[in-house]
Structure 1
Amino acid sequence: MSSHSPADTRGYKFLHKVFLVGLLLKGANAFLELVSGLVLLLLPIATLQSATETALRPLMRLLPEGPWHARLERLTASITPEGTLFAAWYFLSHALVKLLVVVCLVKGWVWAYPLSIAVFAGFMTFQTWEFFHGHAIMYMLLNIMDVFLILLTVNEWRHAMRLKHLKTA
């Protein structure tokens, strides 16, 4: 048996750092969703509509008439109280779930590893559905990040179980 614990291996240390960076990115994404949800809840609809129109106006001048131009026009017209409330709920709920998972993983709680894998897989399912219905490439980019995070979480979980086994042996 080697005198080095699994934590001493260079490969594990590198993957652990990548895992922590992935958690940092997931936490940053959750923070942005939290802020977005709060903004949608707290700002009046007229302010949101005006800000959206102002932000998109230069882009719409550049785009020729066509599908992307029409999509941006629909976006500005689709800001409604119901839609805004749904988006706020969506952002806030996703943010809270992600923050909870990230905190539990950073703490190294063994039960959090399978839970986080299930949560990330659930997000991937939803993001894939959204991609095929809305064609937003961002969902596929999030899926790629989630696949890597799931693989890194499996690695961390195995490592935690090995350490637990070594401590009891």
Structure 2
Amino acid sequence: MHQESRRERTLHKIFIWGVWLKAFDGVVEVFGGIALLFPGVLMNLAMTLVQNEYIEDPHDFLATHLQHALPAFLAQSGWFVALYLVSHGLIKIVLVAGLLRDKLWAYPSAIIVFGLFIVYQLYRYVFTHSIFLLVLTVLDLVVIWLTWHEYRYFKKYRVFAQ
């Protein structure tokens, strides 16, 4: 019978934390996407958050730009972004559920799908130069590596759920 090394236990714990982080990210994306389907509620929430700034200074940069940019964004891109976030989040949640249940199909599926997410994030980075996208890409790379490691290790030493 194989006994796990301290390194393997540590990597497994990091993997579990990374997968739970992906789950949290997926849930936030789903709720964010759903929120975009209700632009009036989203506008009211945004205006409530910057209301004090706007009262203090009617020319406040953030409040003024939010008041003008958010309605235009919601009118032009709201449905697309909502659909993207909801589908992206649901895919993550399904993959995470499979990974946490040691489903064999989930490991290669997660590696491929998260890899495709990375390709898209890097594509978007070319246009946005967003540091957030780079951080997200690095985290995705770590989760992919951990998933690959877990897959190889479990295939060798553990039994997968069917």
Q: Give the whole-Å Cα distance in 2 for the aligned partners of 1:9 and 1:163.
A: 12
Answer yes or no: is the 8 Å Cα contact 1:105–1:112 preserved in 2: yes
Corresponding residue for residue 88 of structure 1: 82
Say what the alpha-carbon RMSD is for the aligned residues. 2.8
Q: Which whole-Å deviations, capped at 9, do the CAs of 1:90-123 have from their partners, x for residues lacking one? A: 1100011000110111111122211110011001
* Structure 1 position 161 matched with structure 2 position 142: no
Identity %: 27
* Structure 1 position 13 matched with structure 2 position 9: yes
TM-aligned CA distance change 1:97 to 1:136, over 3 Å? same
* Structure 1 position 128 matched with structure 2 position 122: yes
Answer yes or no: is the 8 Å Cα contact 2:118–2:140 preserved in 1: yes
TM-score by length of 2: 0.81
TM-aligned CA distance change 1:74 to 1:151, over 3 Å? farther
Q: Give the whole-Å Cα distance in 2 for the aligned partners of 1:74 and 1:140.
A: 28
Q: Give the whole-Å Cα distance in 2 for the aligned partners of 1:79 and 1:162.
A: 50
Per the TM alignment, residue 20 of structure 1 is displaced from its structure 2 partner at its CA by 0.1
Letter in 2 for 1:111: W
TM-aligned CA distance change 1:129 to 1:73, over 3 Å? farther
TM-aligned CA distance change 1:30 to 1:151, over 3 Å? same
Q: Give the whole-Å Cα distance in 2 for the aligned partners of 1:135 and 1:102.
A: 28
Answer yes or no: is the 8 Å Cα contact 2:107–2:148 preserved in 1: yes
Of 131, 135, 138, which aligns to 1:144?
Answer: 138
Structure 1 residues 115-124 or 128-137, which shifts more?
128-137
Moved over 2 A (4+): 45-59, 68-82
Answer yes or no: is the 8 Å Cα contact 2:107–2:151 preserved in 1: yes
Per the TM alignment, residue 142 of structure 1 is displaced from its structure 2 partner at its CA by 0.8
Structure 1, unpaired ranges of 5+: none
Of 40, 44, 48, which aligns to 1:46?
Answer: 40
Structure 2, unpaired ranges of 5+: none
